[in-house]
Amino acid sequence: MNYLKLVNFEVNRFIKIYIVLLGITMVSQIAGVIVKANQYVGDVNQAIYEELTPKAEFLEMYGQISMGMLTRSMWFTGPIALCIAALLFYLFLIWYRDWFGKNTFIYRLLMLPTARLNLFWSKITTIFLMVLGLVAVQLLLLPLENLFLRMIVSKDFRTELSIIQIIEQSGYMSVFIPTQLLEFFINYGIGFMVVVVLFTAILFERSFRFKGMFLGIVYGVSCTLLFLSPILITELIGVGANYFYPNELFLIELALGLIIVAASIYVSHFLIKRKITV
């Protein structure tokens, strides 16, 4: 099927950079655990064996080391921020690189004997596979890192945390690794919607160039306002945040999200089929 061939092709185009990103993340996080844990052990040794501080007093002053703590260090947030930045950048690059440079691959893509919307789907699928890939690697890394921590720091000096606890304590990880399935669908659903709207805006720009950039921004802002309208309205008319029942708000947002996604796909289909220009 052409869609799958295109996905495979798009993934292959990014795979090298992606592997580098994964590598940086793995090395940095594992190194972070080792360095931080050894530092901590060093501190413990100095305090207890050289300065003869009682253990209880030390623990009271410095606290136990935990994975949750480590996830908030630069060793973790750095590479994760890098991955996020790279993927955000790639959201644009995945389209624009087909037009720019000496090789105008967009000719080839637009002339494939397949529905052009498949290009749109293949690019969005690629982005999602990349995001989910990073999350999966993070999920595999956490137990491994936990193991390293356990090997370096003795039981008395560390807080034993489950993976879920680590994610919760990190603060930010629960955004991409929610602990509830529904939350997972909400977060990734919103993510999907944002990408679909952004791609539509990019297609506006690629179709009408300068004018299209303006149209794209207007489209993006309109979608955002529409999606946030239930919340904005309650704030604006001053009826307070709890004007809707939580479930009611959820259903309204779900409906709005679906409308925005459907409209964006419809518009994208029209643009890529009739208005796009090489």
Rounded CA separation 108/114 (Å): 12
Residue 13 token pair: 């185009």
| Interface positions, 157-216, toward other proteins (CB under 8 A) | 207
* 107 near other proteins, judged by CB under 8 A: yes
In sequence order, the β-bridge partners of residue 158 are: 65
* 150 near other proteins, judged by CB under 8 A: no
CB of 113 to other proteins, least distance (A): 4
Closest to 148 measured CA to CA, from 243, 31, 46, 259: 31
Residue of the chain from 103, 154, 162, 224 that contacts other proteins (CB under 8 A): 103
Choice between 55 and 211, CB closer to other proteins? 211
CB of 268 to other proteins, least distance (A): 15
3-class DSSP state for residue 158? Answer: strand
Residue 256 token pair: 């709005």
3-class DSSP state for residue 65? Answer: strand
Rounded CA separation 96/268 (Å): 16
| Interface positions, 5-64, toward other proteins (CB under 8 A) | 5, 9, 13
* 105 near other proteins, judged by CB under 8 A: yes
Q: Which long-range contacts (CB under 8 A, 24 or more apart) does 44-51 make?
A: 44/157
* 238 near other proteins, judged by CB under 8 A: no
Rounded CA separation 109/95 (Å): 11
Task: Give the number of residues in contact with other proteins, rule: CB under 8 A.
Answer: 24
Q: Which stretch binds other proteins (CB under 8 A): 112-120, 166-174, 192-200, 258-266?
A: 112-120
CB of 271 to other proteins, least distance (A): 10
Query: Which residues make up the interface to other proteins (CB under 8 A)?
Result: 2, 5, 9, 13, 101-105, 107-108, 110-116, 207, 274-278
